[in-house]
Amino acid sequence: MWPFRKREDRSLTLDQLLAEDQPNTASGATVTTDTAQRLSAVWACIRLLTDVVSTMPCHAYTAGSPDPVDPAPIMLRSPAAGVPFHDWIAQVLRSLLLTGNAWGIITARIGPGLRPSQIELIAPHRVTVNVAGDGTVTYRLDGREVDRDDLWHLRAYPTPGALLGLSPIAYAAETIGVGLAAQAYGAQYFRDSSTPTGYLTGDQLLTTSQAEELLARWEVRHKHRRATAVLGKGLEFKQIMVPPEESQFLDTARLTVQQVCRIYGVPPEMIAADSGNSLTYANVEQRDLSLLKYAIGPWLVRLESALTDLVPRGHYVKFNAGGLLRTDLKTRYESYKLALEGGWLTIAEIRELEDRGPLPVAQARPQLGAVA
């Protein structure tokens, strides 16, 4: 049963839905969260999004204050035992990009509101959600019923009435299956193909020994060479072209890459693929801005909202995407000067954008005063 059918929230683990012994796509390929990542386009899109987002600076702020909360809430420093924040975010995002859902077990709480301070992430396929006829919802971890309050859940692509987010891999299974089938066909073609490059033909009957002798002479004279061929009476060399239906897998592979990029909103050229059209970016900054606006921005909003619910009340979480839009050195410094004069950036914020530590207090105060 596919997760986009009417009863999607009655059996909602992707691996149970997709991990079949028989192929589950029309192309004959079996598509699961594991096999999908073996298609380079899927792997590259997920790698790009997780790497960029998880390495962005992320801070907690209080309303009305431009300075990050210091020290940062524990959820932004060590959200799980032995797991740094950037790795934790990467795991969350990878789960969302593959299954549409991220799950975790709340192992510690803090503060008067008992907000989670430690969340151990778990593989989405370990969680099942069942809805009884009377509407009662039961959550199970590895088949064992658990209290909903002990689970942390973040979903992507939500739909009205559904308890889980939609899975990009499940919905794109046919597209990914075609790519996997083309990939397997190409590998088999180059491994097993016995198609000769050409053949010698003539109007004379040849014995087996004569044919073998003629072949041996031809190989010695022309193999790996471009020497001019001189053929005897009645002989003709005909080159064999690869049938179009056998070379079509290359075009299929290119199309699959474009379709996977379309699913994840990633410009094909960002994963070293052909975009399929003549559209080009005027500069690197414009390309990065497009990536941030259409592919990364929505994920930042989802993560910021989820993280804000995990930090102390009165704080909010914000990723700093400024580093992604860096221009050349001269343009950046001119922009910083305008920002300082306009009063909408401080020296501390500019230094953070440049990946530099804060100035000592004795140095920072006079400069800030001078700007003011």
Sorted by where each begins, the domain ranges of the chain are 8-183+249-308, 196-241, 327-371
Average pLDDT over residues 15-32: 70
Give the per-residue pLDDT at 198. 66
Most confident of 18-27, 326-335, 342-351: 342-351
Model confidence at 266: pLDDT above 80: yes
Which of 22-31, 162-171, 218-227, 277-286 has the weakest average pLDDT? 277-286
Give the per-residue pLDDT at 269. 84
Average pLDDT over residues 284-295: 80
Give the per-residue pLDDT at 5. 35
pLDDT digits (tens, 9 = 90+) for 95-126: 999 999 999 999 999 877 788 999 999 999 99
The C-alpha atoms of residue 281 and residue 291 are separated, in whole angstroms, by: 11
Give the per-residue pLDDT at 11. 43
Of residues 199, 197, 201, the one with CA closest to residue 233: 201
Give strand ranges (E) for the chain. 58-62, 101-110, 115-122, 127-131, 137-141, 144-146, 151-155, 198-202, 235-239, 315-319
pLDDT band with cut points at 50, 70 and 90 for residue 174: very high
pLDDT band with cut points at 50, 70 and 90 for residue 323: low
pTM here?
Answer: 0.73
Question: pLDDT exceeding 90 applies to what percent of the chain?
Answer: 42
Average pLDDT over residues 145-161: 93
Model confidence at 369: pLDDT above 80: no
CB 357 within 8 A of CB 351: yes
Which of 78-87, 161-170, 341-350 has the weakest average pLDDT? 341-350
Bridging pattern class, strands 137-141 and 127-131: antiparallel
pLDDT band with cut points at 50, 70 and 90 for residue 232: low
Which of 18-32, 93-107, 333-347 has the weakest average pLDDT? 18-32
Model confidence at 47: pLDDT above 70: yes
Reduced to 3 states (helix: H, G, I; strand: E, B; else coil), residue 126 is helix
Give strand ranges (E) for 83-241. 101-110, 115-122, 127-131, 137-141, 144-146, 151-155, 198-202, 235-239
Q: Who wins on pLDDT, 369 or 336?
A: 336
Bridging pattern class, strands 115-122 and 151-155: unpaired
pLDDT band with cut points at 50, 70 and 90 for residue 20: very low
pLDDT band with cut points at 50, 70 and 90 for residue 233: low
Mean pLDDT across the chain: 81
Give the per-residue pLDDT at 64. 82
Q: Who wins on pLDDT, 129 or 219?
A: 129
Give the per-residue pLDDT at 173. 93
Tell me the C-alpha to C-alpha distance, in Å, between residue 175 and each of 95, 263, 310: 20, 10, 37
pLDDT band with cut points at 50, 70 and 90 for residue 45: very high
43, with CB counted inside 10 A (0-12, 13-18, 19+), is middle
Most confident of 8-12, 142-146, 236-240, 345-349: 142-146
Average pLDDT over residues 249-257: 83
The C-alpha atoms of residue 331 and residue 335 are separated, in whole angstroms, by: 6
